[in-house]
Structure 1
Amino acid sequence: MSTSTLESFKVETSDGVKLQTRVFKPKDEARQNLVVVLVHPYSIMGGCQGLLRGIACGIAESGYRAVTFDMRGAGKSSGRASLTGFAEIKDVVAVCKWVCENLSVHRILLVGSSAGAPIAGSSVDLIEQVVGYVSLGYPFGLTSSILFGRHHNAILRSPKPKLFVMGTRDGFTSVKQLQNKLKSAAGRVESHLIQGASHFEMEGLAYDSQMVDLILRFLSSL
């Protein structure tokens, strides 16, 4: 029996893109003070909000509202996906603004998965209400940095608390590359390694409950 409910909305960005957005609500809305906004993996490789449904449900069942959305060009959203994810920053900002205005909330935890992590990371300091950031498999590696390298500085320089979660067998970023990047990060920085997990394995359903636990533990420390 589900302990959460789901509602769908359309959110319009500053440049007129309409984003299909879903709000996962606990049956008992005891924790109204914070919403978790989740940013899905790379649209061009088939990323969509459906990949984050398990995590969003787990967060809602733990008493917090969670929001997922299809970025431009993905799922039922209009617009066209960009190669580098810079246009999608407008999507994250629009959804967070909508959350604040329509869900009467002033605190947001921003969570990005895979390519959604650099996009979310570049949005953190553009949204005053974001109080923390969680990355699930940030692509810091050399090859992926061709596409996403220009996003790195935004999150590494942000003073807001941040948690980086990664599998030790991530094919895009080595543990050493992650550690080297985080040495230069400002503010409170935490990392958590999932032993033996590859990049795409960690995105799978088998790891959803572990991702939820890590997000909630970090959230409770904010």
Structure 2
Amino acid sequence: MVLDVFELSCFVASRLDGRALEARVAMAAQAASGQRALIYIHPYPPLGGQFRNNVVHELSARFDSSVGVSVAFNLRGAGASEGRTSWTGTSEQEDLRSILDILHHQLLRLHPARHSAADLRSILIQMQARGFLHDDVDIDRLDGVPLPSITSTLLCGYSYGSVISSAIAADEYPGLGVDYAHISFPYSVVWVLALQKRGWYLQRIASTVASAALAFAAGPECIGRHIPRTLFIAGTADTFTAMPAYDRWWAQLRSKALDTLNVARPELPASAAEYAVDKALTTVRVHNADHGWMRRESEVSDAIEAWWWHEPPPGEGVNDFDAEWAVVPRRYN
């Protein structure tokens, strides 16, 4: 069955300074996972990064009909968005929070300088005609586009976009259930993209993984609460970060998470600690794929689909898929 998807191209305001951010919002009428949302964050604007990137296009084509809402947007200085790229990514973090605010409030307000009241009314009439709004809704009383309730949100950051998404703490938006998919995280060149903030971004990721592992180690105590999971996808031929550098960094993240568990839960068996870290952090290596993912884009969406939509059964942890997707779960008794 072909799902009906309503797509809206618009401009929204950055909460930082009101700059107009170009966005494409998609809503699926009969999505199997109606309370899920995806936000796509593109590569570095000065190098041509914007939401019409090949990886973002692939992810959108694969997933937009399977979630309640998806948003691809241009950070300041990219595409038709106003402003310019900052030196530290701090302004771009606020651009991303502006999109998360929209999901949180379940309301998409169009940028007043880019859209008229007639634009909003036209959009609402189209939504009502296609069944995205109930017939009894008085569209003249709405000041924005209503969105469905979201309880699970995946931040899909690609390259520079993954640096920006890593800055968002999941507990800033507890109701949205934030997880992270970092595609080709530019580990070796973050210092170029964010100058003196490199250490801050890397520490934020380490803290996110360690805190999640600690929560997963709580066992029954974590039932019913969202624990943010982190996925890294990288090609073994990445042109900005060599795979040995990724491996060393990922090992450091695991080690820091295990150290956190050893200090906070010294009575925890080693197998249980390993399992908790495996739940918090997953890494995917794709053989011979480079940073651009040309003609390899589907392998990115394959990895995300296998990880976010299909969690391993209770009692099994999955980590380090290989390029042929031969997954061997670790069992802990």
* TM-score after normalising by structure 1: 0.88
Q: What is the aligned counterpart of 2:166 among 121, 130, 135?
A: 121
Matches within 5 A, 1:57-68: 57-63=61-67, 65-68=69-72
Partner of 1:175: 243
Counterparts of 1:92 and 1:99 in 2: how far apart (Å)? 11
SS in 2 for 1:65: strand
1:92 Cα offset (Å): 0.8
Corresponding residue for residue 56 of structure 1: 60
* Structure 1 stretches lacking a partner, 5+ long: none
1:137 maps to 184
Whether the 8 Å contact between 1:22 and 1:68 is mirrored in structure 2 is yes
The match for 2:35 is: 33
Q: Partners in 2 of 1:84 and 1:47 — Cα distance?
A: 16
Comparing 145-154 with 10-19, greater Cα deviation is found at: 145-154
Decide which of 152, 161, 170 is 2:202's aligned counterpart.
152
Within 1, Cα distance between the matches of 2:283 and 2:38?
A: 19
Question: Are residue 88 (structure 1) and residue 87 (structure 2) matched?
Answer: no
**In the alignment, is residue 45 of structure 1 matched against residue 92 of structure 2?**
no
Deviates more, 1:44-53 or 1:179-188: 179-188
Which of 199, 214, 219 is the aligned partner of 2:303?
214
Q: Is the 8 A contact 1:23 1:67 kept in 2?
A: yes
Q: CA deviation at 1:121?
A: 0.6
Superposition deviation, residue 113 in structure 1 = 0.2
Distance 2:248 2:203 in 1: 13
Q: Does 1:98 align with 2:143?
A: no
User: 1: CA distance between counterparts of 2:30 and 2:153?
Assistant: 19
Matches within 5 A, 1:63-78: 63=67, 65-78=69-82
User: Structure 2 vs 1, CA of residues 210 and 25 (structure 1 numbering), >3 Å: closer, same or farther?
Assistant: farther
Q: For residue 27 of structure 1, report the CA deviation from its aligned partner.
A: 5.1
Greater share of strand: 1
How far the C-alpha of 1:88 sits from its partner, in A, is 0.3
TM superposition shift of 1:156:
2.1
Counterpart residue type for residue 10 of structure 1: F
Structure 2 CA distance for partners of 1:64 and 1:105, relative to 1, 3 Å: closer
User: Are the structure 2 counterparts of residues 177 and 67 from structure 1 closer, same or farther at C-alpha, using a change threshold of 3 Å?
Assistant: same
Q: State the alpha-carbon separation in 1 of the partners of residues 155 and 77 from structure 2.
A: 21
CA distance in 1, matches of 2:67, 2:299: 17
SS of 2:167's equivalent in the other structure is: helix
1:195 corresponding residue in structure 2: 287
What is aligned with 2:11? 10
Corresponding residue number in structure 1 for 2:130: none
Aligned residue-pair number: 218
In structure 2, relative to structure 1, the CA distance for the partners of 1:2 and 1:32 (3 Å cut) is closer
Q: Sort the Cα spacing of 1:75 and 1:146 in 2 relative to 1 into closer, same or farther, 3 A.
A: closer
CA pair 57-65 structure 1, distance change in 2 beyond 3 A: farther
Cα distance change on mapping 1:39 and 1:105 into 2, 3 Å: same
How far apart are 1:189 and its partner, in Å? 0.6
d(CA) in 1 for partners of 2:94, 2:67: 28
Cα distance, 1:63 vs structure 2: 4.7
Secondary structure, counterpart of 1:87 in structure 2: helix
Find the aligned partners of 2:15 and 2:167 in 1 and give their Cα distance.
17
Quick one: distance in 2 between partners of 1:61 and 1:127? 24
- Opposite residue 209 of structure 1, the aligned amino acid is S
- Take 1:181 and 1:81, find their aligned partners in 2: how far apart are those partners? 27
Give ranges in structure 2 of 5+ residues lacking alignment: 108-146, 213-227, 258-276, 313-333
Residues 177-202 of structure 1 deviation map (CA, whole Å, 9 limit, x = unaligned): 112222233451111011001111x1
Percent pairwise identity:
25
